[in-house]
Amino acid sequence: MTDHLPILLLLSPLFGALVCVLFGKGNSKNAWIVSMISLGISSILSVFLLLKVLSIKAGDIRYRMGGWDPSSGYEVGIELRIDILAALIVLAVTLVGFINTIYSKTRVPAEVGEKGPFFYALIQLLIVGLCGIIMTNDAFNLYVLIEITSLTSYALIAMGNRRAALSSFNYVIMGTIGASFYLLGVGYLYIKTGTLNIDDIHTYLENENLWTSQSIIVAFILIMLGVWTKMALFPLHGWLPNAYSYAPSMTGTFMAPLMTKVMVYVMIRVMLWLFGADFVYSEDSVWSELIVWMSVVAIVAGSFLALARNDIKKMLTYLIIAEVGYMVGGAWLNSLTGQAGAFYHILSDAAMTFCLFIAASIVIIRTGESRLNAFDGLFRKMPLTMIGFTIGGLSMIGLPPTCGFFSKWYLISGGIESGHWEFVVALLFSSLINAVIFFKIFERAYFGKIKGIKEEVSVADIDMIPAEGIKSVPASMLIPLFISALSVLILGIMNKNLFSWISNALKMING
């Protein structure tokens, strides 16, 4: 039974999605129950998976789909491969998915109405796709799964208000270009090596010493470009802010914390497993230097753009873009601490983005105002929501004991270790900008005068969601907020264990 954990984990939401569409019959309530069960099962299974991976010292779990052996000479088999890193992110995905389903309970009827069952079906498919991306050990299968997540997320975003359709279309274009780049890169690799299994490709490249081959270098560049587009690394970020802020609130709360982070994970996988640290950080190439500088630009630009926004969700999405810069930079620092810090930041950023997006969604829904003045006086009126928002915000700034502090700690350590002072400065700069952004909001919430609830909703406002007034927030929205805020603190306090797991796993691959 436990041998089949990885696949069961995928099958549960896959069947959940089918059940939702077949038997949902336009009833969101049933679909909600189904997805609670299926994602609950997935979450529990991913906990077991993590425990199992932790119990085997120095190694990973391999699962061969359908029993095909990918190394038998016929490269038709697909392999799942789970180490501690993968298990941690799978756990994050399934847990965020589960908690987000709790949050969607009242939001789905309110925001997508009739289409409720389809929403649940799509989001479960999305989770299947994301978990698959994390676990698969097959470069082409990875592409297929990326497309699954993309297609589902286009639909999920397009369910939003009337601006969502256009932003989803934007995302379709950019996402397709990105995925095509990736596919093209995989094609080059396949031509050169004749295999799609990530480990096999690496072994082949190593044995044949193909590191200087033009086509391998082109393949690497194409794959990186594809992945960067999908993760919205500045300046390839154009699709993200609109897509995430006009999507239905429960789509935004799910996608914002996870989508970009999973792609960062894919980047780290490609860097260290497919190509290997020797190639990536090779002293002959300027990539490490160049890409760290690119991440510095991403961090600074993302922070400035966030500072300039007056729309809550837009502001948060630009912060995500800055955070992507943190992780890309950390991964490229050529220091184990930097890599592990980037990886730790995947988890901690998922937690704090989740927390902030839920809190922001609650505020926007309750006040009917999507600009920053929605926060006026909210510490008195919605203290619980604001506490959650404050914890998320403090973590973004990087104040102890939130997880944001520790991820900065490790990333800065990595920067100092590898002598990339520009990266250290960029991180500190972004902390300061975040401090300005969030304390501006805290000040509003603390001193601002509460306005009456607006009757008419202007064009700039989210037009599908009517203001619900500042009354008590339902438990189905508050509980997710608290869990996410708590996880921000727990990840921070547990950082020592997490970090040692992560760096041990990375040590093995770095040799």
Partner 1 sequence: MADLESSLIPFFAWLVSLVAVPAIILLGRKPDAREGVTFFAAIVKFSLVLLMLPLIREGKILYFSFGEIIEGIPIEFRVDGLGILFAIVASSLWILTSLYALGYMRSLKEHDQTRFFACFALSLSATIGVAFAGNLLTLYIFYEILSLSTYPLVTHHGDKEARSGGRTYLSHLLGTSVAFVLPAMIYCYWKKGGDINFTDGSLLTTNIDSGAGLILLLAFTFGFAKNGLMPFHSWLPNAMVAPTPVSALLHAVAVVKVGVFCVIRVFTGVFGIDLLRDLNVAVVVSWIAAFTVITSSLIALTQDNLKRRLAFSTIGQLSYIILGVSLLTSLGVTGSILHVAMHAFGKITLFFCAGAIYVTMHKKYVSELVGIGRKMPITMTAFAIGSLSVIGLPFTGGLVSKWYLVMGTVDLGADGTVDSGKIALLVIFLVSSILNACYFLPIVYRAFFCRPEESLYEGGRQEAPLACLIPLCITALLSVISFFNPSLFIELAGLIIK
Please give the residue ranges that form the binding site for partner 1 (CB under 8 A).
397-401, 406, 408-409, 412-413, 416-417, 424, 428, 431-432, 435-436, 439, 443, 446-447, 493, 495-496, 499-500
| CA atoms within 13 Å, Cβ hemisphere of 196 | 21
Which is closer to partner 1, CB of 194 or CB of 383? 383
Which is closer to partner 1, CB of 11 or CB of 435? 435
Grouping H, G, I as helix, E, B as strand and the rest as coil, residue 173 is helix
Which is closer to partner 1, CB of 300 or CB of 424? 424
The residues, any chain, with a CB within 8 Å of residue 39's CB and separated by 6 or more, are: 12, 13, 16, 94, 97, 98, 101, 124, 127
Which is closer to partner 1, CB of 261 or CB of 408? 408
Cα(53)–Cα(83) distance, integer angstroms: 6
Q: In whole angstroms, how close is the CB of 89 to partner 1 at the nearest point?
A: 22
Q: In whole angstroms, how close is the CB of 413 to partner 1 at the nearest point?
A: 5
Contact between residue 132 and residue 509 where contact means Cβ atoms under 8 Å apart: no
Q: In whole angstroms, how close is the CB of 506 to partner 1 at the nearest point?
A: 15
Q: In whole angstroms, how close is the CB of 302 to partner 1 at the nearest point?
A: 18
Structure tokens that stand for 390 in this block: 């404050």
Contact between residue 355 and residue 314 where contact means Cβ atoms under 8 Å apart: no
Closest CA to 112 of 122, 125, 98: 122
Q: In whole angstroms, how close is the CB of 324 to partner 1 at the nearest point?
A: 21
Q: In whole angstroms, how close is the CB of 349 to partner 1 at the nearest point?
A: 18
Q: In whole angstroms, how close is the CB of 417 to partner 1 at the nearest point?
A: 6
Cα(147)–Cα(155) distance, integer angstroms: 12
Closest CA to 358 of 326, 322, 382, 323: 382
Closest CA to 331 of 344, 319, 318: 344
Q: In whole angstroms, how close is the CB of 392 to partner 1 at the nearest point?
A: 15
Which is closer to partner 1, CB of 37 or CB of 425? 425
Which is closer to partner 1, CB of 240 or CB of 403? 403
Grouping H, G, I as helix, E, B as strand and the rest as coil, residue 472 is coil
Contact between residue 105 and residue 32 where contact means Cβ atoms under 8 Å apart: yes
Closest CA to 298 of 371, 216, 238: 238
Which is closer to partner 1, CB of 278 or CB of 443? 443
Closest CA to 467 of 374, 377, 355: 374
Which is closer to partner 1, CB of 232 or CB of 411? 411
